[in-house]
Amino acid sequence: MTLQINAAFDGGNIHVVEQDGNRIYLEIIKDNQSDFFQWFYFKVTGAKDQALELVVTNASDSAYPAGWPDYQARVSEDRQDWQMTETDYRDGMLTIRYTPRSNIAYFAYFAPYSMERHHDLIARMAGKSGVGYEMLGKSLDGQSMDCLTMGEGRRSIWLIARQHPGETMAEWWMEGALERLTDENDSVARLLRQKARFHIMPNMNPDGSCRGHLRTNACGANLNREWAEPTAERSPEVLAVRNHMDKTGVDFVMDVHGDEAIPHVFLAGFEGIPDLDKAQDKLFRRYRNKLAKYTPDFQRHYGYENDEPGQANLALATNQLAYRYKAVSMTLEMPFKDHDDMPDLKKGWSPERSKQLGRDCLAILAEMIDQLPISGKDLA
């Protein structure tokens, strides 16, 4: 059987430059109409028991070259169980080494979350008691902007994920959070649904997800730089969601992401927005502190530098939503590498840990739900 490489599937991304026996030279393809690239996902067939060396030759030109040192690629032979494999970054090239046990092996930057799995998730959750579904709009490629709703309380809670499509851990987080929120035997879920109305966007960027992009939608727009002035022509995904937020109000919002370079789980807040409300900021810090005490898979010491007062970029979701709605707003970042405070030498940061963190974040939200502001908007 001839060794072949293919990425012509949902979320796939790679270009074969040259093959020299079991050593294959590859390039990651840029997002459409963008210079961003880092996400890769491809399959190798016909290489059973062969020691592969897969060399990404343009790694040093990627969006975040600091993400490659100490990074380990993910591999799976059944597309269910994803583990790390030997990987090194040297002389600007990323080399992945693996010997497949079968004739098909998949390689990815992180465990993929396919659009097919997304549709399964939406259908499964929409069929549960008390869960509603709304299509808030369409993406540039015509895909639906899927929103799940649940809860009867007055506080308006928004959870959004995967503005950057290559950050697939964000939708794994969503799967864990949704499974808990819809569990009728879970007291945390029952409390939250009694006290709040949830609006949940598991995937903000379906086009980029399907196209195998790292950070952008179909036209090359970074959705997390579109929140100040979204347009139907460039960022209909953000426009549809923000318009709906204007109707519901927003009291608490978490925007779920992955970070290429920082080997830790952390939160970023909105300390640099104009006219910062100290009580609003205090609630964010309280949430962060409680989460750090609750799970060793979260920490407070590593993360992004704080913005100076009044200098926040209001095009970012967390800043815009905190400023626009006076919401307790935050960005959750999970690593592509591993959470160095609690490393897993076999899987690194993983879908399983992402899902568990989704459940844990809800536990802290339940502890603080009565302390959150109420927007007073019509939540119907």
Alpha-carbon gap, residue 231 to 84, rounded angstroms = 40
Cβ atoms within 10 Å of 190's Cβ, excluding its own? 14
Report whether 151 contacts 249 (CB < 8 A): no
* Strand ranges (E), the chain: 4-6, 15-20, 23-27, 41-45, 52-56, 74-76, 83-84, 87-90, 93-98, 104-108, 132-138, 144-150, 155-161, 196-201, 252-259, 266-268, 328-335
* Active-site residue (options: 184, 333, 352, 367): 333
Q: Of 5, 56, 41, 101, whose CA–CA distance to 336 is shortest?
A: 41
Q: What is 242-310 written as a DSSP string?
A: HHHHHHH--SEEEEEEEESS--S-EEE--TTSTT--HHHHHHHHHHHHHHHHH-TT--SSSSPPPPPTT
- Could you give the angle at which helices 115-126 and 169-181 cross, rounded to 10 degrees? 10
Q: Is the dihedral of CA 239, 242, 244, 246 positive or negative?
A: negative
Report whether 7 contacts 41 (CB < 8 A): yes
152 flagged as catalytic: no
Q: Which residue has the tokens 């937020």?
A: 245
**Residue 200: Cβ-neighbour burial (10 angstroms; 0-12, 13-18, 19+):** buried
**Pairing label, strands 196-201, 155-161:** parallel
**Bridge partners for 94 per DSSP:** 56, 89
What residues act catalytically?
333
